[in-house]
A and B are shown apart, each in its own frame.
Chain A
């Protein structure tokens, strides 16, 4: 990955996976993020909690360079993600798994094809796809639904499929933006357990939610946001 030398991460934070350095994002009439600074170490499970409009989603979009900051810099493994060229940005996104509240599955592809597409995107061979996709579908208990389209799956199944897609390429980081927002308590519990298992295997996870119950269930580091600012950053043990 190509890096502009002056845009390297400050030495103090180079061991962190993600480093937000005084990041602000101001839209025409409102500030979504205000002077946000924090670090996420590799292997951490960080829950970002806050009400709607607190800036949680904007924060996750910054990591993916889906939004550009008005001020400040976002580093992923010492690289300023907003200075990356299109091809390098594609490479970065391949190292991050995404899970969204609205699932964002490909509607014209079956459960199998949704996961296969993520593998095709990173250049995996047909043999790898044929061997890994059924395995990961079984892992999220969707083996019997492999030929179903997203419209034929329940909310919980869609989210499990989205998680399967996020983990298939063994990413270093998974960003789950309100993954339980559209789910009932049973499915919410299931999704949280899956994410915790993934984290136990060493993958860094950033989870945004407005649900205190989810935070309690995760029981790890919690960043609390309000009006675009971090108001609390605590270790939360169950």
Chain B
């Protein structure tokens, strides 16, 4: 395709958009609705991911060591745990720190503090706090602690207890809820996106249906398929660009309002999220709008181009 043909197609598409008036703006409106649905999905995914990460952060596994367990053995276990691909972080709390924390936690509980003072020595052992990358990975970390590798390190004799087994039921249930929420989120996203695409496709098909006669005349005067299809594709691109601009413009004050009024409820400031991810969101919407416009135009025009 020569530059002249391309120039003519672009000019023709722009003119056609301008002259189609209400029909063009109806198509822009529908694409805007589709892009708004996509933006809402992006926001909902952000809220879901934030909530899930909050829940995930609250889950951990703690290994309690026996009183007087040698520090070098604990450190050896810590370093081998850190090498596991499932482990996000391992934090060590010495027996003294554990005692200090215990005292701090129970400072208003006089009988407990008095009992502790009467014992005289530190009754608490050191512990390792482990955070996995995913909630589902705690089981494999627990299995590692039971495995030969851990025994080789001599850690079996110094471990008092691992609280994974006490929390297993809660962790498993949480894991099911998180994975269910993610699957449900994906399914809802998929359904909404498919519905939006079908509505957009049908609207653009309707705008091209109105031009059915025009297409047949163009073909009869000898226009090639590209010359007929091209301007419709350009119109599709224009729908996408204008709809993207309207969507980001509309969501700006909406995100600001949600950010200032619902941050406590949602746990995430949507306005900050919108601003910090603005270019990513803009690119996703622009690309979706343009691709949607072009593909719908090609499919709709193809029907009348076969003669």
Contacts and interface: CB of A to CB of B under 8 A. Distances in A.
B225 A86 contact: yes
B222 interface: yes
Interface residues of A, number: 26
Interface in B195-224: 213-214, 216-224
Contact of A87 (B217, B224, B227): B224
A64 B220 contact: yes
B277 interface: no
B14 to A, nearest CB: 12
Interface in A25-61: none
B286 to A, nearest CB: 27
A106 B222 contact: no
A66 interface: yes
B16 interface: yes
Contact of A117 (B4, B216, B218): B218
B307 interface: yes
Given A125-B4, A126-B4, A108 B221 contact: no
A189 interface: no
A117 B223 contact: yes
A210 interface: no
Contact of B218 (A66, A121, A169): A121
Interface in A96-114: 98, 104-109, 113
Nearest to A106: B214
B225 A121 contact: no
A165 B220 CA distance: 12
A107 B222 contact: no
B166 interface: no
Contact of B15 (A98, A108, A121, A169): A108
Contacts of A90: 219, 222-225
A104 B220 contact: yes
A140 interface: no
B173 interface: no
Given A66-B307, A104-B213, A108-B19, A121 B4 contact: no
A117 B224 CA distance: 12
B4 A93 contact: no
Nearest to B306: A86
A121 B222 contact: yes
A98 B220 contact: yes
Contacts of B220: 64, 66, 93, 98, 104
Contacts of B107: none
Contacts of B217: 104-106
Given A93-B222, A98-B221, A104-B217, A120 B8 contact: yes
Contacts of A66: 220, 307
Interface string A60-99: 0000101000000000000000000011001101100010
A146 B221 CA distance: 19
Given A104-B213, A120-B8, A125-B4, A93 B221 contact: yes
B20 A121 contact: no
Nearest to A175: B220
A106 B216 CA distance: 10
Contact of A121 (B16, B213, B216, B223): B223
B220 to A, nearest CB: 5
A169 B20 CA distance: 28
Contacts of B8: 120
Nearest to B17: A108
A234 B34 CA distance: 64
Interface of B: 4-5, 8, 15-16, 19-20, 213-214, 216-225, 227, 307
Q: Which 6 A-B pairs have the closest CB atoms?
A: A94-B222, A121-B223, A93-B222, A121-B222, A108-B19, A104-B217
Interface of A: 64, 66, 86-87, 90-91, 93-94, 98, 104-109, 113, 117-118, 120-123, 125-126, 165, 169
22 contacts: A86-B225, A87-B224, A93-B219, A93-B220, A93-B221, A94-B221, A94-B222, A98-B220, A104-B213, A104-B216, A105-B217, A107-B214, A108-B19, A108-B20, A113-B15, A117-B221, A117-B223, A120-B223, A121-B218, A121-B221, A121-B222, A121-B227
